[in-house]
Amino acid sequence: MPVIKSWQDKAAIEKIVNRCSVDEMVDETVSKVVKDVRLNGNRAVLKYTRKFDKVSLETSRLRVSRKEIKEAFRKMDKELVQLIDSVRKNIVKFHKRELRKSWTSTKEGLTLGQSYQPLKRVGVYVPGGTAPLLSSLLMTVVPARVAGVRDIVMTSPPGKEGDIHPYLLAAAHLLQVDEVYRIGGAQAVAALALGTETISPVDKVIGPGNRYVVSAMRQVFGRVGVGVLPGPSEVVILADGGAKASFVIADLKAQAEHEKGLAVLLTTSMKLAGKVAEEVKGSYIIVTKSKEEAVRIINRIAPEHLEIMVKNPRGVINKVTGSGTIFLGPYTPTAVGDYVAGPSHVLPTGGTARFSSGLSVDDFRRRSNVISYNREQLKKVIKPVARLAEIEGMQAHADSVKIRISRR
């Protein structure tokens, strides 16, 4: 892989910075799917399951029965059950720290506060395909449970035989998922958002997925809430001359397992860059004149995952203004965040980490502000309220305050 020198090839860096996962052709296809599901419910869902997943289902098989789910759990290797539960505990421990309590403050007849409530019903999309993505199930369902969501609904694409992988079903049982449906793709997102004869609509749709799934989430937003919109996976590594080349190479190769993923090494060391270039294909290797320049480029890329393998990695944190998760030091590969550390691995991609954050309990809760004035407190604000309302041409707003003071 050729080494890019930042001072010579700015165009290559701009290509990375300006990457975009939006595809107009995909959006057009998805728009038709969403509209069809809205108009035809189950019939459309089954049609697109045949078309895209090559699986023919009857309406009665859309929902996975509790008997099937329990049977999958019964047959699951007990050692794997314990492993999943240990990861669940890590995720619970981390996300409990995020919970904010409702609060009120009252003084002399004026009360202000905020009330937090969990969403009632959330749809979780779990990618299927060739392998059961247990980690994605854990990293979405567990924060929802911590947040107190009442009903968690899971969808996942069926395999060739029309079944969801038994590991996913067993994990769904362990995590107390309320409903499971064997559908995937844009039609699953549309069904969750809009509802069908079989599936009741949810308040929010969460989860990673391919570009069709992400497009569907964008298109149903407003009808329901959506969480992070993760596109192709990304890792950027910041390393100095003291970093072990074998660690950097291993992490870039790990990233290559993600289809259409982004892998970038930024370093001040030509020696390290040369070693990595000999071993790794499909990654960008950028040499900068200083660590500060490298950080500036990282902030423009705003990657999903950022690994920092430099002397005093903690000193870099406050300089990073855009990254989903930051991994500090040589013994913290992205893989530990993907599977066991605790924070959800559902993270912003495509540069959206500049203005958004990874999945948290806040994605599963809503907040209401609380305001209460007595008559004396209202008298104190009548002039500014009335004046601002009148400037905006809202005389009735001004009158609604004045009447409470002029009449008892």
At residue 169 the predicted structure's pLDDT band, cuts being 50, 70 and 90, is very high
Q: Round the average pLDDT of the chain to a whole number and report it.
A: 94
User: What's the rounded Cα separation, in Å, for the pair 342 and 230?
Assistant: 18
Structural domains in the chain, sorted by start: 3-21+232-342 (3.40.50.1980), 24-226 (3.40.50.1980), 374-406 (no CATH)
Q: How far is CA 258 from CA 49, 167, 242, 371, in A?
A: 24, 21, 28, 49
Share of the chain above pLDDT 90, in %: 89
- Our separate counts of H helices and E strands in the chain read 16, 14
Per-residue pLDDT tens digits for 39-69: 999 999 999 999 999 999 999 999 999 999 9
* Per-residue confidence (pLDDT) for residue 406, from 0 to 100: 82
Residue with tokens 């001040």: 268
Q: Is 186 helix (H, G, I), strand (E, B) or coil?
A: helix
For 24, half-sphere exposure in the C-beta direction (CA atoms, 13 angstrom radius) is: 0
The pLDDT assigned to 1 comes to 65
Mean pLDDT of the 236-241 span:
97
Question: Could you say which DSSP state residue 94 is in?
Answer: H
Looking at 20-29, 212-221, 259-268, 379-388, which range is the least confident one?
20-29
Residues 344, 351: Cα–Cα separation, whole Å: 18
* 130 pLDDT more than 80: no
What is the pLDDT confidence band of residue 35, given thresholds at 50, 70 and 90?
very high
The span from the CA of 400 to the CA of 266, in Å, is 60
Split at pLDDT 50, 70, 90, the class of 129 is low
Do 6 and 297 contact (CB within 8 A), yes or no? yes
C-beta separation of 227 from 206 below 8 A: yes
- Per-residue pLDDT at 196 exceeds 80: yes
Residue positions annotated with a catalytic role: 304-305
3-state secondary structure of 151: strand
pLDDT confidence bin for 2, thresholds 50/70/90: confident
Q: What pLDDT digit, counting tens, does each position of 258-295 carry?
A: 888 899 999 999 999 999 999 999 899 999 999 999 99
pLDDT in tens, 64-96: 999 999 999 999 999 999 999 999 999 999 999
Strand partners, 309: 239
| Per-residue pLDDT, 408 | 56
Q: Give CA–CA dist 263/67, Å, rounded.
A: 43
- pTM given for the model: 0.93
Q: How far apart are CA 184 and CA 190, in angstroms?
A: 10
Segment 182-189 shows an average pLDDT of 96
Six-digit token string for 221: 């937003």
Distances (CA, A) of 245 to 15, 270, 338, 380: 25, 12, 22, 67
Q: Which two tokens stand for residue 333?
A: 């590969």
Q: Give the whole-angstrom CA distance, residue 27 versus residue 25.
A: 5
